[in-house]
């Protein structure tokens, strides 16, 4: 049995959940209040982060390394292209979202508005929120530019890059921080991802104290 230690509104956990679900791998989800850094959790993962995937007695951390492992250990359906240059583009974009988008947007909006309250570390810093709200526009423009040239973010097939991006955007959509009307191409892309069976469990997530807006679960948003 495979177990995933996660929190519902973590883009890194969501990327792994989507990858598991697309590959139809059964998984037991266990919520982990990682910020409390319980000794038991730190034993499982010295980096003190989620997601942590437990496969038999093996504990795995780092979402991108986990997803690459899932892709190699469970090759079907493929979430990476075969062509070497196309694979580079998938990895570049996963990193774009998990590093740059995370630093400029997710950490400035989601972590300020939700994580601070949940973890009891104070009120949102309005400068950060303002910065994130400005930067997300630039990122949505970049996605629209990519999607003008391609059916999916990294090329003409759906890949890990789409799940990395959708994982971040879905967390931000939970707190109504995505302007879907900015670009029809981005909205259409998200509608395609959102309607996949793998996405359903994410739409059922509910974080106490933070009820999602009605459009969050609607496939027609």
DSSP 94-108: HHIIIIIIIIIIIHH
> For residue 184, what are the β-bridge partners?
none
Q: Residue 90 CB, nearest distance to a copy of itself (Å)? A: 8
**Which is closer to a copy of itself, CB of 75 or CB of 213?**
75
Q: How far is it, in rounded angstroms, from Cα 113 to Cα 88?
A: 34
CA-to-CA dists, residue 183 to 85, 139, 149, 202, angstroms: 27, 11, 14, 23
Structure tokens at 129: 């929120």
Q: How far is it, in rounded angstroms, from Cα 133 to Cα 109?
A: 7
| Window of 95-103, 120-128, 129-137, 193-201 that interacts with a copy of itself by CB under 8 A | 95-103
Neighbours of 76 (CB within 10 A): 7
Site for a copy of itself in 135-194 (CB under 8 A): 142
> Of these, 25, 54, 69, 116, which contacts a copy of itself (CB under 8 A)?
69
x/- track of binding to a copy of itself for residues 43-62 (CB under 8 A):
---xx----------x-xxx
Q: Residue 62 CB, nearest distance to a copy of itself (Å)? A: 4
Positions in the binding site for a copy of itself (CB under 8 A) = 46-47, 58, 60-62, 64-66, 68-69, 72-73, 84-85, 87-88, 91-92, 94-96, 99-100, 142
């Amino acid at each position: 049995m495979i177990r995933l230690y996660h929190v519902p509104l973590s883009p890194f956990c969501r990327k792994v959940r989507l990858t598991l679900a697309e590959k139809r791998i059964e998984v037991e989800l266990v919520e982990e209040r990682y910020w409390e850094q319980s000794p038991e959790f730190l034993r499982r993962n010295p980096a003190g982060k989620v997601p942590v995937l437990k496969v038999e007695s093996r504990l795995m951390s780092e979402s991108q390394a986990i997803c690459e492992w899932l892709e190699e250990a469970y090759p079907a359906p493929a979430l990476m292209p075969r062509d070497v240059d196309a694979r580079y583009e998938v990895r570049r974009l996963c990193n774009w979202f998990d590093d740059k988008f995370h630093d400029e947007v997710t950490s400035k909006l989601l972590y300020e508005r939700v994580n601070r309250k949940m973890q009891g570390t104070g009120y949102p810093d309005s400068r950060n929120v303002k910065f994130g709200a400005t930067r997300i526009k630039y990122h949505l423009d970049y996605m629209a530019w990519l999607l003008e040239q391609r059916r999916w973010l990294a090329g003409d097939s759906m890949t890990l890059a789409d799940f990395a991006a959708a994982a971040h955007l879905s967390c931000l959509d939970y707190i109504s921080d995505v302007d879907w009307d900015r670009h029809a191409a981005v909205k259409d892309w998200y509608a395609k991802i959102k309607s996949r069976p793998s996405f359903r469990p994410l739409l059922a997530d509910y974080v106490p104290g933070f009820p999602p807006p009605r459009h969050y679960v609607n496939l027609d948003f």
